[in-house]
Structure 1
Amino acid sequence: MGALVRAYNRADDAFIDETLAPDTVGSTAVVVILSACQIIVANCGDSRAVLCRGNQVIPLTVDHKLDRDDEVITVTEAGGRILYVGCPTVEGVLAMTRAIGLLYPYTPFPFLYSLLVGNIINKQTDTDECLILASDGLWDVMSNEKVMAMARRMLRELRNQYATVANGSVSPAQYVAEEVLKNALRTSTDNVSIIVVDLKRLRRRMQQKAEADI
């Protein structure tokens, strides 16, 4: 966990040099580390990671926005002002409260979370379907539940016919990401970044590797 905090701080420090980026440039960031028994998550800002476990939708991150009292306190204790510009914002600029690269009063300190999943090649984790990491351009127009229902349905349909999907040129996860992106862009006015991780295919590859090593 400490390594993730240091990584976020180092990324933030890289923006200090104004020859590399002006002080108005910054970014949110969500990071997921998968191990054999654990999902470790860090996020700063309003990008989000969500896990689909069977039919259950599990948010793995907390959006850093002004609808959270604790985030309002974080901003005001740092000397920042909450100004209403169409909606509550920090210093009249952004509705989110944390970011990498933006100057005071924004902090790059990430939210950290870990989820034990047992051994990922153990059948106890067979219900873990997929992970979705995306920017707020997606989540502002589609709920966690809607995104996961769409992803779960398509992944289940595509896994057994992977070779026929787009002539086998893209994986089911990539195909799903592109379809979710198209759906979001029908109504989103923000940029959208999305990554889909097919945990069942990942688990299958790990099983095959484990069997090959025996």
Structure 2
Amino acid sequence: MALLANEPDISVVETVESRSKLAAAVRHSQPRVALIDIDLAGEESAGDPSARDGIAAAGAVLAQAPACRVVIMAERRRPGDLRRAVAAGAAGFVMKDISPAELADAVRRVARDEQVIDAALAFAEIGAARSPLTPRELEVLRAAAQGGTVTEIAGELYLSSGTVRNYLARALTKMGARTRVEAVSKAREHGWL
């Protein structure tokens, strides 16, 4: 962020290292643009190395400061990250190896209500596989990703336990997964969850 601080028309109002501190910083500073690392540390994801906490943080930022525009930064181009970032409300997605001038330009453009997307990531996203799961199968798998039992998922989604088991079984079969954990991991990897 020191690179952005050198730009005469950009003010870096706060820098934080965790999702919990981000919420307080946004409430305090009300930034026009929030630049969020996709791998932003979060206490709730400490045991899950596959968690993409920065995307969840983008949604939280926008809930607290709807006028704020979010740019996600990532080190690697992973299928599904762009789709999930846009679904969370991000207006930009750039790679960490972007030049300082390009980063400053991206922040300026997003501040002007434009969208900025890494071109290589956009092409990778277009070529990524689409989910073979139905919307209901995805909904059940998303609930399973939260760690609930079949009974808890059934109660949450107003389904019978047998129906939840059927949806999970079909999702596992379609994805070639042996376990729920493997299915959730594959779905996250592809950006379906």
Higher RCO, Cα 8 Å, sep 6+: 1
> Which structure carries more strand by proportion?
1
TM-score after normalising by structure 1: 0.27
TM-score after normalising by structure 2: 0.30
